[in-house]
Amino acid sequence: MSKLSGAEIFIESLKREQVEVIFGYPGGKNIPIYNLLYDEPIKHILVRHEQAAAHAADGYARSTGKVGVCLATSGPGATNLVTGLATAYMDSVPVVAFTGQVDTKSIGKDAFQEADIRGITMPITKHNYLVTDIKDLARTIKEAFYIARTGRPGPVLIDMPVDVLADRLEFEYPEEVDLPGYRPNLPFNGQGLDKAAAEINKAERPVIFAGGGVISSGAAEVLRDLARKAKIPVTTSLMGLGAYPIDDELSLGMPGMHGSKYANYALCEADLLIGVGVRFDDRVTGRLDAFAPKAKIIHVDIDKAEINKNVDTFISLTGDARDVLSQLLPLVEEIERKEWLAQIAEWKREYPLTYKDDDPAIKPQAVVEELNNLSEGKAIIVTEVGQHQMWAAQYYNYSYPRNFITSGGLGTMGFGLPAAVGAQVGRPGELVVDISGDGSFQMNLQELATISEYNLPVKIVIINNGTLGMVRQWQELLHEKRYSSTILKNPDFVKLAAAFDIKAIRIEEKDELRAKLKEAIDYDGPVLIDVRVAWEENVWPMVPPGAGNHEMIGGE
């Protein structure tokens, strides 16, 4: 058997893992890999900034359910991945990041473009490696993909010194992974299941709270079966949007700081809350002592560390969400719960998500509604972070898992555009729309070059209010309208798109909104749409900081 270089082992290992695409940027310490990629069938997408490589791999993973892969060189190339890895870590997204490193003899000696990327990323990766011997390379890659995709998914980083990539060894890819301290795929043992079923069957006002874990485990279908069989209303976190059809009669939409009033009221009155694949984060709970005060809590999660972390759990079911719900489904009874559902329906009638549309300016909510109507709720919606993110969550009817991609935990401005690249590469025949704010868009706008080079038909809808909208909203409500550093002097986005050879459309009048959005969607290629909207529009309703969810304001 002929010997392969470390770079060749890298390529062959990725083939064994059925990797189809890498998002990356070349540099001095990963040149051996790029030299081989020149002739390899693995597709490489050249981003224009390494942060974008991590976000694109993230968007690819979220939209497809596969592991996303990104590649950077040493030093600044590696450190530029940090924000993207932290984003994936907070949202439990399977990404494997590879970085070049200085040669093993120079490590720790402040060599040119050296950085201890393993130490830097230890808090924001599920696991990471420094490979100092070519004998360990194939095994490490096998382990990295296994760790990234199993249990609670997350990013894994492998740092590869350039001399390891140049060294040679007979290639042998391991058949199995042997990690004695890591046993993520143990089947759910059923502990607590009968007790949980009994509580569900006797509950009068139960609510299911579904999160991103439902989507990552592929549990959306069994969740729907459970809710419909037992007539239990379902509210979904920001990360869980799409786990349950938003237009279903049992749907409560999103709860929390900018959730629906009826979702928050339901949580406040529920006598049983079934949390599935959720973290009970602060944007959902509001003031903890006021969160679901009348409810016993059943928590289903694959990660033991989440149980009792933020809220006290009455019954914990630790295991994969699909596995747990599949075993729970036969044990729950068919119950009508007419009084509870009637109360839910009354709240929905009395407190719908709505906005005032009584002035000449385009309302951002209307932009999202038109996108929903034109795409029939079937587009893959990717967002940046801010007001537009919340409007996208509130006014688009998500009915399918993996069709809403956003930075939930870290709240990363600049995420949307490169994540849309990854989503479009992962699902090339589908409509991908990046709903962006004018502030967030400018954080990674260089990826217009990537979109242009590969002619990716992403539709970029900039909700352009000339401000850092969410910060401005807080300044208005909490700081006497002292708009410090939140009013933006923006470039002409239409001219900017033209510089990248991307079609661009500006929308300034209400009566042209639908026609121009349709023109963009129908166009066979990338389009940037600059929508000038009312600049002082706020996201309503809102739970003020430090308040309970029952103390929502606005949205009338």
DSSP secondary structure, 355-373, as one string: ----SSSBPHHHHHHHHHH
pLDDT of 1 reads: 61
What percent of the chain has pLDDT above 70? Answer: 100
For residue 457, the 8-state DSSP code is -
Dihedral sign, CA of 220, 222, 225, 231? Answer: negative
For residues 54 and 87, the answer to whether their CB atoms sit within 8 Å is yes
pLDDT of 365 reads: 97
User: Average pLDDT for residues 140-149, to the nearest whole number?
Assistant: 98
pLDDT of 225 reads: 98
Q: Which residues contact 103 (CB under 8 A, 6 or more apart)?
A: 111, 161, 162, 163
Q: Identify the helix (H) or strand (E) that includes residue 72.
A: strand 68-72
State CA 523 to chain mean position distance. Answer: 27
pLDDT of 12 reads: 97
User: Average pLDDT for residues 240-252, to the nearest whole number?
Assistant: 96
As beta bridge partners, residue 206 has 272
Of the pLDDT bands very low, low, confident and very high (cuts 50, 70, 90), residue 358 is confident
Question: pTM for this structure?
Answer: 0.97
Structure tokens at 70: 């990104």
Whole-number Å distance between alpha carbons of 350 and 373: 24
User: Average pLDDT for residues 242-250, to the nearest whole number?
Assistant: 96
Ordered domains of the chain (ranges, CATH) = 3-170 (3.40.50.970), 193-350 (3.40.50.1220), 364-532 (3.40.50.970)
The answer on pLDDT for 159 being more than 80 is yes
Structure tokens at 152: 């609670």
The four Cα atoms 388, 396, 217, 198 give a dihedral, to 10 degrees, of: 110
Whole-number Å distance between alpha carbons of 286 and 284: 6
User: Average pLDDT for residues 144-148, to the nearest whole number?
Assistant: 98
User: Average pLDDT for residues 489-494, to the nearest whole number?
Assistant: 97
**Helices assigned H by DSSP within 210-260:** 212-216, 220-230
Q: Which of 416, 314, 371, 361 is nearest to 532 (CA)?
A: 361
For residues 69 and 98, the answer to whether their CB atoms sit within 8 Å is yes
For residues 447 and 47, the answer to whether their CB atoms sit within 8 Å is yes
How far, in Å, are 87, 266, 277, 554 from residue 243 at the CA level? 21, 19, 11, 27
The answer on pLDDT for 201 being more than 80 is yes
